[in-house]
Chains A and B, each alone.
Chain A
Amino acid sequence: MSEITEDRPAVDEEQLYHEAALGSLWWGSRISIALTITAFGGLVFAYFYLRSLNSHGLWDPHHQTASVLLGSLILACVLGSAIVQSVGARRLRSGSTIDWLVGGFVALGLGVLAGGFQIWELTRLNFFPGASGYGGVFVAFAPVYSIIILLHMYWLETLLVRLVRNRAVLDGDGGVGISRQPKAENFRANLEGFTYAWNALSIMSILFFVLFYVL
């Protein structure tokens, strides 16, 4: 059996686990998207189920809708945040770290604002939670939405602050968006995962806006 060992291909463990970590970031972020979709999926199911059942005509008898102004602001903030962040991330890839830092902090501000607006909206509803099926689903949806937005903002904040504090390490070798250093690659994988997750949520937000404010 010894000949097998001698033929052993050289395994670069550091490289192996570095790539495994990149793959885990890919899968972790995709799983987080799946979890977000299924978590909202249950509530969207509740929306359509109760809407189509319309028990005793009480789905939305008085067409009471949560503040459309705030709803539009939330959507605008989320979309704006996603777009600014995506553009920033693209600029990062072409080497301008500072663009993403600026874009990322703007996106962070907009996202936190969106989460805050959502909580604020919940405190000033023009209907009681039990007033209608719509009211119930909205009251169920809003906290989940704001929490998930803020969790994504936590993710973005950790990325931003990680880059700010480790700029010297990460930004060598032509910038964090280009560098072949493992730490920079790991950072990019993380950022890419976040971008996907946040963009996915922003696309879902359009659906939520239509469901809760337009229909």
Chain B
Amino acid sequence: MAIDYSKATGTGSSSGAPGGGGGGLLRPSIITGIIGGVIGWLLGHWIGNSFTQGYQQVQGSGSNDIAEFMGYIFMIIGWFAGLGALNYPIQKLFGVEAEAEEPVTEKGWTKYFRYTLDHKTVGVQYLFGMLVYFFTAGLLALAIRTELLSPTYHIWSPDTYIEIVGEHGTMMMMMMTSVVLGPFGNYVVPLMIGSKRVAFPRLEALSFWFTPISYFILLSGLWQGGFQSGWTGYAPLSVQQGVGQDTYILGFGLQGLSMVCASTNIVATIINYRAPGMSWSRLPVMGWSMLSLGFTMILSIPVLIDGLYVLALDRTAQTSLLYSGHGGSSFLWENLFWFFGHPEVYLLAIPGFGLVAEIIPVFARKPIFAYKTSAAGFIGLAILSFFVWQHHLFQSGMNPDMRPLFMLTTELISIPTGFIYLVGMGTLWRARIRLTTPMLFMLGVYFNFLFGGLTGVYVSDVPINVTVHGSFFVMAHFHYTIMGGVIFAFFGAIYYWTPLVTGYQLSEKLGKIHFWTMIIFFNSTFLPLFAVGLLGMPRRVFEYAHRLQFLNQWVSISAYLLGASLLFFAVTFVWQLAVTRKPTVRNPWGSRSLEWYVESYPPPAYNFKRVPVVLSWPYEYGDPNALPVADIVNETKDLDPVGRA
């Protein structure tokens, strides 16, 4: 028998619980959240200033780090109180349990501006949140490229320039960790594993609502003098900075908390909420990638938070953990930061690969090649990524004797990375390939990541690293892996799952225009930067050699065109969802994956009428006699097992 959720909906007795309570403006939503945040900031800032009464030079001066921290911390508390996120924890303190099940049947568009517990709503919130992040940071990238049009003539002052560089890097790195897990992990994975819910819906919702406030805090750095230390925040430069650095610490730290919440939820969901019959050997590869991702985050992000916390203490409590003159060491920050920082970049790659391996078989009409290898590849990446962090520090002067070891581990990690190529090539071999927009983006990942991967060999080789470390070569390398990899996969996934998420079909023609312009201008932007780096241009500079001007101008103009391509996406995407609204056919790509077998697009509340029983592997595209993927298939009558509409 199915669970009866009716009790939980519309009783309104759990006053203040998400989805319950009264109506109107005072009902918890983003508006009350903002009001709470403003009140919190004023209160915290006042407290911070009264703390420091003895310190004439900082008190009330706008450069009081303690007031800055207190203001933001109270703002965060006020924000969550206003959103209604604190009601449940406080109720628990008094033993007033909320309803047994969370109401997730809220209707209408306003639910997207509330703290809601439906994983699908959270997924959509994440999708648009991450796009806002991405476009903001992308505009900052264009600002950087504008400055680099000329080696001597300056658009920005040097400090504005370096602030923009730092904001761009930090914002992109913060957003990239959630860019797949947030929208698609939260939305699609529970559907894929045949679950009606996620394990910890409150943690999941919390993880999203951290992101708007961390976005705001980080961006607010720009009008407080910014931070000049880049996204890596090396001490003692970061200790030396003004209050703008505090926004880096808090923004990044909050995003860290968000990632911890999101990954705890996704790990528990995948492990515990798989439908009957969804054995480990039938779990979609996307699930495997999310699982590896979740564990990697859980084990690496607390160390980042430690590092940021230590930096915050050095800036406020007058410890000297990062300053060797008083018994600390600037190497401590480099170690703590990169111990997180290197798993971080695999946190970006793993979900991208997961999307690629998930989507390619659909358009190849073949089982995924070497399924176990791909899962092992994700796990291998996750494990090895903890043993490579020193390769960012090959020239730092710490522990030269460890360099051969870290060179070895770094080279070894290209073995599991190579698995994804094996999987792709094997899956396409003797396939029936449809070059739809999502498929093109996935093939684009293979094209781009090849450059990123091959240049990774240069960067990991210590003797070559002497030349390329800290140059545009490294910068081009990681833009190829991150933007060329995970962002291409992200856009492919948007085209792939939009029919499911919205019920509307996106135009293939417009999608292909977006793809071709994006991949051409992406490569035209970043390929020359390998040369620029090899020719001796360091990162994050505003002055460079005259002989590099032509290459830099080429790159800047390509970057504008890349920006135009992304703008084209934004306009057409919103236009098609808001105006054209062409209803999609059911299962438009002919996928065998469970998420397409829901009753309607977008899926109803609680996803499935009853829990499906999984009968076969989701990738049986090659066998016309294979069992349907689940016993739900012939209830959704207009779909047959291979998904012909």
Contacts and interface: CB of A to CB of B under 8 A. Distances in A.
A–B direct contact (CB < 8 Å): yes
Interface of A: 1-2, 4-5, 8-9, 11-14, 16-17, 19-21, 23-24, 27-28, 31, 34-35, 38-39, 41-43, 45-46, 49-50, 53-56, 58-61, 128-137, 139-140, 144, 154, 157-158, 161-162, 164-166
A178 B339 CA distance: 45
A162 B298 CA distance: 29
B182 to A, nearest CB: 18
Contact of B3 (A2, A14, A23): A14
Contact of A1 (B200, B273, B634): B634
13 contacts: A11-B611, A16-B276, A17-B197, A21-B199, A23-B271, A31-B268, A39-B306, A45-B335, A49-B331, A139-B313, A139-B319, A140-B309, A162-B92
B95 A130 contact: no
Interface stretch (B242-250, B320-328, B573-581): B320-328
B399 to A, nearest CB: 11
Contacts of B96: 165
A28 B268 contact: yes
B477 interface: no
Given A14-B1, A31-B298, A55-B328, A23 B272 contact: yes
Contacts of B635: 5
A17 B633 CA distance: 22
B336 interface: yes
Contacts of A34: 298-299
Nearest to A160: B95
B335 A49 contact: yes
B26 interface: no
B310 interface: yes
Given A56-B325, A130-B319, A137-B321, A144 B264 contact: no
A134 B327 contact: yes
B317 to A, nearest CB: 5
Contacts of B321: 46, 50, 133, 136-137, 140
Contacts of A162: 92, 95, 97
Given A4-B615, A46-B310, A17 B196 contact: yes
Given A20-B199, A39-B306, A140-B319, A1 B298 contact: no
Interface of B: 1-3, 89, 92-97, 195-197, 199-200, 260, 264, 267-269, 271-273, 276, 298-303, 305-307, 309-310, 313-314, 317-321, 324-329, 331-332, 335-336, 339, 610-611, 613, 615, 627-628, 631, 633-635, 641
A165 B199 contact: no
B327 A56 contact: yes
Contacts of A43: 306, 310
Given A11-B611, A45-B336, A58-B326, A27 B271 contact: yes
Contacts of B305: 39, 42
A129 B313 contact: yes
Given A24-B199, A31-B268, A136 B95 contact: no
Contact of B332 (A11, A46, A139, A144): A46
B303 A42 contact: yes
A64 to B, nearest CB: 11
A5 B631 contact: yes
A17 B197 CA distance: 9
Contacts of A136: 313-314, 319-321, 326-328
Nearest to A2: B634
Contacts of A53: 324, 329, 331
A13 B320 contact: no
A46 B276 CA distance: 46
Contact of A154 (B93, B269, B313): B93
Contact of B327 (A5, A16, A27, A133): A133
A144 to B, nearest CB: 7
A59 B327 contact: yes
Contact of B324 (A14, A56, A128, A130): A56
Given A35-B260, A43-B310, A53-B331, 12 more contacts: A24-B199, A24-B200, A27-B268, A41-B303, A45-B335, A55-B329, A58-B326, A129-B313, A131-B326, A158-B93, A161-B95, A162-B97
Given A38-B302, A161-B94, A13 B1 contact: yes
Contacts of B301: 38
A91 B458 CA distance: 62
A4 B628 CA distance: 9
Contacts of B325: 55-56, 58
Contacts of A164: 95
A11 B324 contact: no
A163 B632 CA distance: 40
A37 B328 CA distance: 23
B623 to A, nearest CB: 15
A177 to B, nearest CB: 19
A37 to B, nearest CB: 8
A131 to B, nearest CB: 7
A139 B327 CA distance: 14
A20 B299 contact: no
A215 to B, nearest CB: 16
A60 B327 CA distance: 8
Contacts of B318: 128-130
Contacts of A24: 199-200, 268-269, 272-273
A2 B631 CA distance: 9
Nearest to B634: A1
A94 to B, nearest CB: 24
A135 B335 contact: no
B324 A42 contact: no
Contacts of A31: 264, 267-268, 298
Contacts of A23: 268, 271-272
Given A2-B634, A42-B306, A140-B319, A28 B613 contact: no
A59 B306 CA distance: 20
B517 to A, nearest CB: 42
B200 A28 contact: yes
A162 to B, nearest CB: 5
A140 B313 contact: yes
Contacts of B95: 158, 161-162, 164-166
Contacts of B615: 4
A154 B93 CA distance: 7
B298 A35 contact: yes
B273 A20 contact: yes
A135 B200 contact: no
Nearest to A54: B327
